[in-house]
């Protein structure tokens, strides 16, 4: 009989910088689910990847003096290494710059176009010139660009649109009649309200930058990054040209996504699929965020929790367990080192670690390290057996609701019950009387057997620990280690040899450890936001001194004098001026963001200082070959840096 399939995906991550623990959270959850379903016998497809197009990435690469793909390759390498360290069991990793993805997105675009769902029009929006980004009214912060805080202006450009509005009723119907499509419930209500307010057609192409997949019918445009990104869920399966995997796994069972991208996955993505006449994913689950006490994690603020730092200190299994046990998956949670350490100590070192080490030590001591017979039932056995064999069904029910924390708690109910069983049966007293040996052996056997069940149930979450337990208890993989074996009591082999090992999870001295973490990067201990702001103010007063450089550093910059011959306003951006500057023999075009300070007439005739070896860039479609220097005056104005020298002289 063919195995039942199960397809789960994570979002594809932006390779703008290294991933932090927030990104890791979703991937760890997807990994645990994939492993759980594999344990249950499903044929699993687990997809993750990277979302590599768009203006932001292009700009970041430029800032790093790299080609986009060079920069991205480097980050993607790091992402793959992180997943290898965390032993993420994905079946495929899709990069949106891969040929297989690009050609398939273009085909999907054409399918939607041929359906009559894509048309050309013009896009008018609020535009931030320095960031080269359009924003909606609601995205603005105090009426200004949410990224840089500068004023925005109204701009118009030609673009392609997707008839999203056409699918409004079908989407509403989807939310209202398929409650399982979007979970948790609260997010469903949000989306229903959003759709009810009315959907506008979606602008799906950009022509102001070129780091993207070209629109197949108009190469001046690139496809809007979300259309490109969302398609990954089917392009990775080979849709439409190699549909074997697509036919096998689509529709997806679960798209796991963070709460802020639920809207893209439950409105735009289904509408795209409706347009292409394809089935919809069965479920989108919008999980909460991991926050720090000061709010969101942010690379620029330096308050990042780096999973690698935690793994090096506590191990992969501990981190995975913590993430899925501590936080309720649908809600936000706050990460602190104290919460982490307390959880590791109480659940892993004390509860599970102690149970295993006590049991193995007792079997060594009382039975020479050999799993004994179990012929003398007694008090407490029945309850222990009921708890141990009754957990799997509950774990399964919780996992199907994506309630990882409750599933783990259910497994820990066995751990706690088994520890209690030791206290109740008092093996050390039984060991004193030869006539109690039969009962003592049965207690030892029952302990080993309860631990076997625990070890299989934790396999999807912490497989190293499972395997170490098997090693210590003399269990061979495949013998009592399957999903069905967690419902049965009595599978541990009499006569197997146990072998003590190092503690599964060493106990942590919390005070000492917290003090050590305080001074470590990547543990979320950067100064809180307010303190940072204060520091910034201080820096400002002192004219923001930069780090010392050597003469060799300075030597890299080539400064020359240049005479501004002509100047005009940038045709597409109110803040920019485009000057023709004579630098010795050559005339260069230089774009400057100074239109709020000077008119083109003010510029013409000045001999200024120019950075002449700056890499040329296109700014809103106009080439800029250098930079004119200005002085930031104390009164907030901008002053020319002029000179008496002729143009073309080296400034040194
Ligand atoms: N590239 C898009 C997704 C496209 S999917 C077709 C994107 N990338 S992202 O890198 O910005 O974010 C990826 C995921 O990481 C999102 O689901 C987001 O919610 C998640 N997280 C980022 N920071 C997070 C936390 N601090 N906590 C939990 N998850 C968070 O969006």
Q: Note whether residue 409 is domain-resident.
A: yes
Residues with CB under 6 A from ligand 1: 11-14, 22-23, 25-26, 51, 229-230, 232, 257-258, 260-261, 289-290, 297
Examine the fold and report which residue of 487, 508, 538 is the final residue of a domain before the chain moves on. Answer: 487
Do 551 and 483 lie in a common domain? Answer: no
Do 552 and 623 lie in a common domain? Answer: yes
Q: Phi and psi of 269, rounded to 5°?
A: -60, -50
| DSSP, res 616 | P
Q: Note whether residue 71 is domain-resident.
A: no
Do 607 and 476 lie in a common domain? Answer: no
Q: Note whether residue 148 is domain-resident.
A: no
Ligand 1 atom 10: residue of nearest CA? 13
Residue 566 CA to ligand 1 centre (angstroms): 46
Q: Note whether residue 423 is domain-resident.
A: yes
Examine the fold and report which residue of 436, 465, 487 is the final residue of a domain before the chain moves on. Answer: 487
Q: What is the pLDDT of residue 541?
A: 36
Residue 2 CA to ligand 1 centre (angstroms): 35
Predicted confidence band of residue 534 (pLDDT cuts 50, 70, 90)? very low
Domain that holds residue 479: 335-487
Residues β-bridged to residue 144? 141, 151
Ligand 1 atom 6: residue of nearest CA? 230
Do 468 and 559 lie in a common domain? Answer: no
Do 559 and 415 lie in a common domain? Answer: no
Do 481 and 562 lie in a common domain? Answer: no
Q: Are 173 and 180 in contact (CB under 8 A)?
A: no
Do 347 and 476 lie in a common domain? Answer: yes
Ligand 1 atom 5: residue of nearest CA? 11
Q: Which of 170-174, 252-256, 598-602 is predicted with the least confidence, judged by mean pLDDT? A: 598-602
> To the nearest whole percent, how much of the chain has pLDDT over 90?
79
Do 564 and 478 lie in a common domain? Answer: no
- For 143-175, the pLDDT digits (tens) are 998 878 889 989 888 999 999 999 999 999 999
Burial 229-247 (b: 16+ CB within 10 A, else e): bbbbbbbbbbbbeeeebbe
| DSSP, res 144 | B
413 vs 410: CA distance, rounded Å: 5
- For 169-204, the pLDDT digits (tens) are 999 999 999 999 999 998 999 999 999 999 999 999
Unique residue bearing structure tokens 């700014």: 619
Distances (CA, A) of 636 to 444, 485, 633: 79, 74, 6
Angle, CA 24 vertex, CA 269 and CA 320 arms, to 5°: 125
Ligand 1 atom 15: residue of nearest CA? 23
Residue 19 CA to ligand 1 centre (angstroms): 10
Q: What is the pLDDT of residue 217?
A: 96
Q: Note whether residue 360 is domain-resident.
A: yes
Ligand 1 atom 30: residue of nearest CA? 22
Average pLDDT taken over every residue of the chain: 92
Assess whether pLDDT exceeds 70 at residue 533: no
Structure tokens, 612: 């002449």
211 vs 447: CA distance, rounded Å: 60
Residue 305 CA to ligand 1 centre (angstroms): 15
Task: Read off the CATH number of the domain in which 434 is found.
Answer: 1.10.730.10
Predicted confidence band of residue 635 (pLDDT cuts 50, 70, 90)? low
Do 562 and 443 lie in a common domain? Answer: no
368 vs 365: CA distance, rounded Å: 6
440 vs 420: CA distance, rounded Å: 16
103 vs 238: CA distance, rounded Å: 11
Residue 257 CA to ligand 1 centre (angstroms): 7
18 vs 575: CA distance, rounded Å: 33
Domain count across the chain = 2
Examine the fold and report which residue of 455, 487, 519 is the final residue of a domain before the chain moves on. Answer: 487
Residue 79 CA to ligand 1 centre (angstroms): 13
- For 52-82, the pLDDT digits (tens) are 999 889 999 999 999 999 999 999 999 999 9
| Higher-pLDDT residue of 539, 599 | 599
Ligand 1 atom 8: residue of nearest CA? 13
Residue 13 CA to ligand 1 centre (angstroms): 6
**Most confidently modeled range among 34-43, 606-615, 622-631:** 34-43
Do 478 and 552 lie in a common domain? Answer: no
Residue 428 CA to ligand 1 centre (angstroms): 52
Q: Which atom of ligand 1 is nearest to the CA of 229?
A: 6
Do 483 and 551 lie in a common domain? Answer: no
Q: Note whether residue 2 is domain-resident.
A: no
DSSP code per residue over 203-271:
E-EE-S---SPEETTEEEEEE-HHHHHHTHHHHTTTTTTSTHHHHHHPSPSEEEEEGGGHHIIIIIHHH
Q: Note whether residue 159 is domain-resident.
A: no
Task: Read off the CATH number of the domain in which 639 is found.
Answer: 2.40.50.140
Q: Note whether residue 472 is domain-resident.
A: yes
Do 461 and 591 lie in a common domain? Answer: no
């Amino acid at each position: 009989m063919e195995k039942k399939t199960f397809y789960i995906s994570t979002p594809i991550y932006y390779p703008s910088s290294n991933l932090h623990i927030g990104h890791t959270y979703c991937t760890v959850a997807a990994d645990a689910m994939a492993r759980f379903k594999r344990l249950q016998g499903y044929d699993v497809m687990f997809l993750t990847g990277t979302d590599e197009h768009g203006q932001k990435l292009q700009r970041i690469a430029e800032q790093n003096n790299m080609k986009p793909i060079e920069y991205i390759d480097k980050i993607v390498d790091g992402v793959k290494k992180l997943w290898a360290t965390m032993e993420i069991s994905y079946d495929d990793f899709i990069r949106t710059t891969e040929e297989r993805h690009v050609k398939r997105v273009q085909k999907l675009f054409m399918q939607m176009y041929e359906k009559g769902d894509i048309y050309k029009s013009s896009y008018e929006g609020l535009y931030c010139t320095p960031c080269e980004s359009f924003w909606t009214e609601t995205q603005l912060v105090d009426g200004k660009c949410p990224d840089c805080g500068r004023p925005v202006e109204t701009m118009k450009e030609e673009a392609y649109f997707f008839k999203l509005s056409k699918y409004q009723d079908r989407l509403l119907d989807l939310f209202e009649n398929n409650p399982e499509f979007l979970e948790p419930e609260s997010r469903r209500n949000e989306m229903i309200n959003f759709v009810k307010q009315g959907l506008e057609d979606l602008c799906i192409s950009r022509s102001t930058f070129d780091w993207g997949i070209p629109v197949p019918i108009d190469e001046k445009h690139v496809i809007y990054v979300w259309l490109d990104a969302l398609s990954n869920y089917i392009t990775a399966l080979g849709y439409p040209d190699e549909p074997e995997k697509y036919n096998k796994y689509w529709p997806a069972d679960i798209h796991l996504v963070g709460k802020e991208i639920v809207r893209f996955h439950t409105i735009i993505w289904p509408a795209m699929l409706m347009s292409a006449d394809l089935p919809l994913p069965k479920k989108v689950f919008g999980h909460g965020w991991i926050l720090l006490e000061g709010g969101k994690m942010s690379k620029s603020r330096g308050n990042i929790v780096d999973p690698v730092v935690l793994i090096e200190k506590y191990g992969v299994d501990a981190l995975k367990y913590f993430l899925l046990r501590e936080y309720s998956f649908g809600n936000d949670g706050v990460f602190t080192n104290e919460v982490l350490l307390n959880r590791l100590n109480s659940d892993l070192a004390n509860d599970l670690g102690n149970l295993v080490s006590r049991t193995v030590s007792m079997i060594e001591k009382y039975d020479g390290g050999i799993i004994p017979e179990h012929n003398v039932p007694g008090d407490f056995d029945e309850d222990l057996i009921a708890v141990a064999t009754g957990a799997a069904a509950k774990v399964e029910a919780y996992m199907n609701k994506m309630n990882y924390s409750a599933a783990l708690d259910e497994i820990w109910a066995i751990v706690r019950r088994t520890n209690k069983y030791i206290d109740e049966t008092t093996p050390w007293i039984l060991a004193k009387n030869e006539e109690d040996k039969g009962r003592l052996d049965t207690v030892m056997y029952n302990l080993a057997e309860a631990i076997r069940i625990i070890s299989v149930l934790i396999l999807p979450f912490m497989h190293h620990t499972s395997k170490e337990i098997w090693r210590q208890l003399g269990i061979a993989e495949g013998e009592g280690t399957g999903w069905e074996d967690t419902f049965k009591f009595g599978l541990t082999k009499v006569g197997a040899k146990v072998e003590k090992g190092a503690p599964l999870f060493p106990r942590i001295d919390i005070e000492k450890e917290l003090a050590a973490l305080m001074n470590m990067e990547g543990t979320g201990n950067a100064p809180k936001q307010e303190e940072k702001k204060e520091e910034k103010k201080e820096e400002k007063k002192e004219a923001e001194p930069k780090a010392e450089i050597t003469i060799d550093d300075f030597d890299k910059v080539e400064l020359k004098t240049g005479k501004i011959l002509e100047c005009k306003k940038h045709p597409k951006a109110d803040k920019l001026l485009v000057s023709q500057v004579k630098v010795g023999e050559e005339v260069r075009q230089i774009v400057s963001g100074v239109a709020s300070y000077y008119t083109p007439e003010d510029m013409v005739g000045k001999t200024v200082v120019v950075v002449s070896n700056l890499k040329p860039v296109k700014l809103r479609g106009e080439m800029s070959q250098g930079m004119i220097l200005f002085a930031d005056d104390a009164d907030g104005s901008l002053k020319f840096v002029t000179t008496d020298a002729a143009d073309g002289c080296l400034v040194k």
